Chains A and B, each alone.
Chain A
Amino acid sequence: MARPRLTFLATKTAKWIVGLLLAIPLLLLLNDVRIELFDPGARLGPNPGDILVDRLGTWSIRTLYLTLLVSSISRIFKIPVLVQHRRTCGLFAFTYVVLHFTAYLAAILGFDFNTLLGDFSKRPYIIFGMIALLLLIPLAITSTRGWRKRLKLNWKRLHRLIYLIAVLALIHLWMQERSTYTDTVIYASILVLLLVERIIHALRQRMARSKTSSAPS
């Protein structure tokens, strides 16, 4: 009741705004690709395929980690309504990952699936990325309210896969770092902080529960 402004976050309009914000990088990139098709080299430089895959990869991991951050932030700053936007973030992460992989298939491999199979054995970072993508599919499908109700407690269990996916994405990134590990260190730190926050949260809940149950009757 004390923070009327925050109720805006619960509205449909807020959901649209969050979605739009997360779509901006994609829209900008699509615009670049559109211009590239008419005027090669104008927006993405002489090697647009690599740049496209790279940028989509960057936004994949950003949105993925943002999805994980939402619940922590909502707890730390006591804005529970924020959690309503987690699904939008997650679906955008899924979208970016799918596009990242599609761009790799189209622009790097030219849809040569033999090379893709070769890449699995010769370039292991691709395996980690692929597993992360495959694991995201059930999460995207079951992200609706209907599935949430149907799966009940299992829904929560299933969606814990996101932690595994975050680790896989981190390995996928780390294996490709060449001269500096800055990005890996940044994402690894975020992951550690997230996990610490969740452990503290879980411990607090347990303590609260044990207090109520052991209270004298």
Chain B
Amino acid sequence: MVLIKTKKEIPSSEITPEAVYLSRRKFIGQSSAAVAAGALAQSTLALPDSWIEDHGYEPGEEIGEDITPEKHATSYNNFFEFGTDKGDPAKHAHQMTVDPWSLEFKGLVEKPGKLPLEDVIKDIDLEERIYRLRCVEAWSMVIPWLGFPVKKILDKVKPQSDAKYVKFTTLLRASEMPGTKARFSSIEYPYVEGLRLDEANHPLAIFAIGMYGKVLPNQNGAPFRLVVPWKYGFKSIKSIVQIELTRRQPRTTWNLSAPHEYGFYANVNPQVNHPRWSQATERRLPQGIFARSIKTKMFNGYDEVASLYEGLNLKRNF
């Protein structure tokens, strides 16, 4: 199965012999096992920061809003596989092995199969996208992602004509994910999210492999995640291992857990009430204790996606 079109010849001097490459991986695996805590966690990444440096990227367009300081974006996270406190992912996600990492493509695609992440993305141009991220918990950040449109990957695997939805699945490895062992859990793992195929093909929908000019930290969904800026953050699924094209709407994690709270679409919409948090306003983080919240915009301010939903009642299909 040939998935990857090589754009330009890579000089043979730049190709690491497989033996060296494998032993390097082994070394990295061992050293990270030896050093349990955070300091060396970055060393387990499938894509080193140098990969991004070598590859280069188009700098993102400023959006006239302050970028959230990196320390906040990497320490205040929802990644329940590592615990439910905001600080848990930063504390525990270093346990997740992200090298090697494979992506499996299945379902209604012309080219199904399982590929190493490096092979999937090696010939794709990186772009920086500065996006607002609006969490359903009524807070938001502005994050400079590094990635590429979802469409670029979908075009490679070629969805069949009857494919209507894309289903994404997060890694589930209980030994490295303490949160998945929680008792009395109301959500099931692996975490699953989905998009309509036309939503996934929208140019704003991207896969990210980095942020702030570096590879993704594990707590932010390393090594490969979705970013859909006009939807609530839980749609932007992290640490993806499987992408499946389907005919029917996938059954997504939060929607299954509490369908009256979390719809399949989950478009940012200040007019749709939520039984936990008012969605009319949001806290732009970092925010002082007694600072005022800002008004939430329809589609998180990304009006260009409105045409995707023409004729759809967004109050019912929330």
Binding site for B on A (CB under 8 A): 33, 36-37, 40-41, 44-52, 106-107, 110, 115, 118-119, 122-125, 176-182, 184-185
Contacts of B69 in A (CB 8 A): 41, 46
Q: Which residue of B lies closest to A44 (CB)?
A: B289
Closest 3 A-B residue pairs measured CB to CB? A46-B286, A46-B72, A46-B285
A49 contacts B276, CB within 8 Å? no
A-B contact pairs, 5 of them (CB 8 A): A47-B86, A115-B280, A177-B186, A178-B258, A179-B186
B287 contacts A46, CB within 8 Å? yes
B184 contacts A40, CB within 8 Å? no
B72 contacts A115, CB within 8 Å? no
* Interface residue SS majority, chain A: helix
A45 contacts B72, CB within 8 Å? yes
Q: Contacts A122-B278, A123-B275, A179-B84: A49 and B289 contacting too (C-beta < 8 A)?
A: yes
Contacts of A182 in B (CB 8 A): 182-184
Q: Contacts A41-B286, A115-B278, A182-B183: A50 and B139 contacting too (C-beta < 8 A)?
A: yes
Contact flags B163-206 to A (C-beta < 8 A → 1, else 0): 00000000000000000001111110000000000000000000
Checking A45, A123, A124, A179 against B86 with a beta-carbon cut-off of 8 angstroms, the contacting residue is A45
Q: Does B80 contact A (CB under 8 A)?
A: yes
Contacts of A185 in B (CB 8 A): 183-184
A41 contacts B72, CB within 8 Å? yes
B285 contacts A122, CB within 8 Å? no
* A117 nearest CB across to chain B (Å): 12
A107 contacts B289, CB within 8 Å? yes
Contact flags B47-64 to A (C-beta < 8 A → 1, else 0): 000000000000000000
Checking B183, B186, B287 against A178 with a beta-carbon cut-off of 8 angstroms, the contacting residue is B186
Q: Contacts A41-B72, A122-B275, A180-B84: A47 and B182 contacting too (C-beta < 8 A)?
A: no
Contacts of A46 in B (CB 8 A): 68-69, 72, 75-76, 141, 285-287
Checking A40, A52, A176 against B276 with a beta-carbon cut-off of 8 angstroms, the contacting residue is A176
Checking B87, B257, B280, B290 against A45 with a beta-carbon cut-off of 8 angstroms, the contacting residue is B87
